């Protein structure tokens, strides 16, 4: 599989220092145009980043170090390094997650099979989501929670990979940073390198835990 590089931000001795200006190879007008597109994006249902209309955004995230304004603001004074998809298992945890006391996660339940998402494509979708909704107060809400509904919402997809949020009726609100952290944990735990597939789910609570998790994030 072709190696793809992604920007991540962490304080590492081996990283190179960047200025307070967010580093990108894009022009100011290109960044402004992408910021306008990001402002219109809402996760699910059926947000498919494979659609040609999103190609400029996906390419900018993967190859030009673009992140949404709230992510740029959060990491403007950090150091930067390039993320290599081939090192995903080693470097995944360098990407900041939400504190576990804010959203308590169960252990991932792995369901990887030959019909699961392509591992590389799931990684790409994770990085798209991270660079668009990792910071700020965006919502990855469940929109099919009425009685009789599936209680699951497809939040986003790219090629064969799809991320869903599921849960009980009456608990629709999910912060995107909680959702993205759950996705990261599933990919990290359930990846199957023998045939490059990944699938599974993780339950989590966004308020004080009771007997059952309020939500589940699914990678499929």
Query: How does pLDDT run across 86-124, given as a tens digit for each residue?
Result: 555 554 554 445 555 556 888 999 999 999 999 999 999
CB burial of residue 42 (10 Å; 0-12, 13-18, 19+): middle
Q: Which of 73-82, 145-154, 207-216 has the lowest mean pLDDT?
A: 73-82
> Greater confidence, 80 or 213?
213
Mean pLDDT over 150-168 rounds to: 89
Domain housing 87: 5-219
**Tell me, what's the pLDDT at 149?**
63
Number of Cβ within a 10 Å radius of residue 69:
15
Residue 76's alpha-carbon distances to 8, 11, 68, in angstroms, are: 12, 12, 12
pTM of the model: 0.81
Mean pLDDT of the chain: 77
Count of domains in the chain? 1
Written as six digits, the tokens of 56 are: 């400029």
């Amino acid at each position: 599989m072709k190696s793809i590089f992604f920007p991540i931000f962490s304080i590492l001795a081996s990283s190179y220092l960047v200025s307070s200006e967010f580093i990108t190879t894009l022009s100011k007008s290109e960044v402004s145009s992408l910021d306008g597109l990001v402002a219109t994006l809402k996760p699910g249902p059926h947000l498919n980043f494979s659609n040609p209309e999103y190609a400029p955004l996906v390419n900018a995230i993967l190859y030009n170090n673009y992140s949404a304004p709230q992510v740029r603001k959060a990491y403007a004074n950090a150091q930067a390094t390039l993320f290599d998809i081939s090192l995903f298992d080693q470097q995944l945890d360098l990407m900041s997650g939400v504190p576990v006391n804010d959203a308590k996660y169960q252990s991932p339940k792995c369901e990887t099979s030959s019909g699961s998402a392509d591992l590389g494509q799931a990684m790409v979708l994770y990085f798209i989501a991270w660079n668009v909704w990792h910071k700020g107060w965006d919502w990855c809400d469940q929109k099919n929670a009425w009685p009789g509904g599936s209680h699951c919402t497809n939040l986003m997809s790219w090629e064969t990979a799809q991320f869903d949020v599921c849960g009980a009726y009456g608990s629709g609100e999910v912060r995107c940073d909680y959702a993205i952290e759950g996705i990261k944990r599933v990919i990290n735990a359930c990846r199957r390198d023998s045939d490059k597939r990944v699938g599974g789910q993780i339950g989590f609570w966004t308020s004080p835990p009771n007997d059952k998790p309020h939500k589940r994030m699914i990678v499929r």
